[in-house]
A and B are shown apart, each in its own frame.
Chain A
Amino acid sequence: MQKKSFEEIRTILASKTVGIAGTGGLGSNCAVALARVGMGRVITADFDTVSESNLNRQYFFKDQVGMKKVLALKENIARINPEVLVEAFDIKLDPLNIPQVFGDCDVIVEAFDLAAMKLMIAETVLEKMPGRILVMGNGVAGYGNNDAIKTVKSGNIYICGDQENETGENLPPLAPRVSIVAGMQANLVLEILLG
């Protein structure tokens, strides 16, 4: 374990930028964790609005139901650490806009719900942003089985999750496992940025 004081950590992070692709369960929790420790700049993108059913895992509040997720998250981060510069994009990410939105990010966090979107950003980053580090979430559904959650690495892509349990009618994504994986993604971002 590398040792640094919180002051040293904050000083390094103040000059860093992280991209958060999707601000649902993984993205909202990951962004909040990184904001708390002093990330300088957080670029978020999502097209969705906060709904009642999101509150079992996503970092939003009941009175934010109906708000655009990127704006609600920006508000919540400002309440926690107003020094973080949040740039919120209310858009649906695609292979054309990803390199523009996340072009100057030190690390990109993939925090989508759908597997097809996860593949889309992985292909886009590998193809159009060579060398850029992508931290993905893969397998968060259900409860229990802590020790199945791990990180696998493939070149510049890191993948956190149990790599197995897909969301379904009887396998809902819930706060504990989703925030464990979001926390692992944030922890990896720190490891990458702080060395």
Chain B
Amino acid sequence: MQIMLNNRKEEFDRGTMTVRELLDEKNFTFKMLIIKINGQLVKKDDYYKAVIKDGDDVSVIHLISGG
């Protein structure tokens, strides 16, 4: 499948994947993330069940301490 990840095309050799699988595959190591699939927020508790499909527009923004 092909998705847009942070406005860039990404290919994966499977039909669907969970948000958790995407984070592991792309080595997102930050803990605090705002994740949206097609503009819809995916909360932290839902990373294992939220499914990403071909053509989805996914954004992952990592939040860091300091202010």
Residues of A within 8 A of B (CB): 22, 24-27, 111-116, 118-119, 122-123, 126-127, 136-141, 152, 154-155, 157, 159, 163-167, 173, 178
Contact = CB atoms under 8 A, between A and B. Distances in A.
B63 A122 contact: yes
Given A27-B67, A119-B33, A165-B64, 6 more contacts: A118-B63, A138-B64, A139-B66, A165-B66, A167-B65, A178-B66
Given A154-B36, A155-B39, A119 B63 contact: yes
A20 to B, nearest CB: 11
B67 A25 contact: yes
Nearest to A171: B66
Q: Is the interface of B mostly helix, strand, loop or mixed?
A: loop
B23 interface: no
Contacts of A114: 65
B32 interface: yes
Contacts of B64: 115, 138-139, 163-167
